[in-house]
Structure 1
Amino acid sequence: MGGLKLEASEIGELEILKSPLNSDVRGFLRVIYDRGISNPRVVNGNILFQRIIMVNSKRGTLRGIHKARKDVHEVKLVACVSGKIREIVVDLRPKSPTFKKHTEIILEAKNNCVIIIPNGCGHAYEVLSKEATLIYGLNTSYSPEKELIINALDPELNIDWGDFKFRSSKDLLAENLASLIEDNLI
């Protein structure tokens, strides 16, 4: 059985892991995370998950941009287990050479791609298939007051979103990045 393969990314410490699908007449096995392959600078060689959640969304949904406040060290694992999404990871680390840059990754059940989003980066996604189901692994417990939501339509970030119809009320009220920087939240 083959293992995970780590691919390069434009954003430092963002991990893109490809997992071969091992299948036979019974079905398949897919490795989602293996601490032996992950970059120790990102997760100290190990992620102790505090939460593992599953999210299902329908076509036309845009979620994000979400990240933890700067005083919370949060690492996220994201895997698409059914359907297809366009994942956008935004570097929101002020001292990073790729600060305010974003990268796009297509996650779908059939491409067996998993990403590990480093601390300080935000992420958002749009659903491209009829529906999509994601699994998130997070090393922090949920605390609404520790969450930041950045406007996914912020012109400064220059993200070209497709056609979407559905956003949460929290996402609709999100502030632009400049306002969050001015308030010293990033």
Structure 2
Amino acid sequence: MKIEETPLKDCFIIKPEIFRDKRGLFLESYHKKKFIELTGIEKEFVQDNQSISKKGVLRGIHYQTGEFAQTKLVRVIYGKVLDVVVDLRPESPTFKQSFKIILDHENLYQLYIPKGFGHGFITLSDTSVFAYKCDQYYMPGSEAGIIYKDPDLAIDWEFPEEEMIISDKDLKQPFLKEVF
């Protein structure tokens, strides 16, 4: 496992060691002790989530607030997504900045997303299976979001907007300046 910093404070790309042979491949998707040794971060993940999405499905930009804010460790099991995170921590030197990365079943990268970040992704392949570990349980009363097309964030989702499939809830999210 290798850890690579992103431009956003406390957000990391995790690159697994992959063992490939004629049968396929093997990798450790998570190893708590190695993760702590490489990052200095000790987290207990308490909930695993998985979504299956078809091409063009955009999920996000989501986060939880207060005591239920979540740290996430995300990865793609199958398919390809453009994963986007936004630092929403007012005290952070990278506040209101975003970062995006391709996660897919070929590179098998993971993204460590600290509490206080917004998160979203769009499926670029025909189907994606997306998994994430969370260090807090989902709590409906503390969920929040930012509209995916916020002009202050200017995120290029690398997909034609007219072909995006977005939930009514995500279409009604507020702009960043309305929240922060």
Judge same fold: TM > 0.5, yes or no.
yes
Shift in Å, 1:23 = 2.9
Q: Is the 8 A contact 1:13 1:41 kept in 2?
A: no
Distance of 2:69 and 2:139 partners within structure 1: 13
Q: Out of 1, 8, 13, which is 1:11 matched to?
A: 8
Q: Percent identity?
A: 34
1:150 partner amino acid: I
Q: Is the 8 A contact 1:20 1:112 kept in 2?
A: no
Q: Is the 8 A contact 2:68 2:137 kept in 1?
A: no
Shift in Å, 1:158 = 1.0
Distance of 2:69 and 2:41 partners within structure 1: 12
- What TM-score results when the alignment is normalised by the length of structure 2? 0.90
1:111/1:142 CA distance change after superposition, 3 Å: same
1:112/1:41 CA distance change after superposition, 3 Å: closer
Matches within 5 A, 1:136-151: 136-151=132-147
Distance of 1:41 and 1:74 partners within structure 2: 21
Unaligned runs of 5+ in 1: 182-186
Aligned length: 177
Distance of 1:165 and 1:122 partners within structure 2: 19
Q: Is the 8 A contact 1:67 1:121 kept in 2?
A: yes
Q: Which runs of 4+ in 1 moved over 6 A?
A: 40-43
Distance of 2:67 and 2:44 partners within structure 1: 18
Q: Out of 116, 124, 130, which is 2:126 matched to?
A: 130
Unaligned runs of 5+ in 2: none
Matches within 5 A, 1:47-66: 47-66=43-62
Superposed CA RMSD in Å reads 1.9
- What TM-score results when the alignment is normalised by the length of structure 1? 0.88
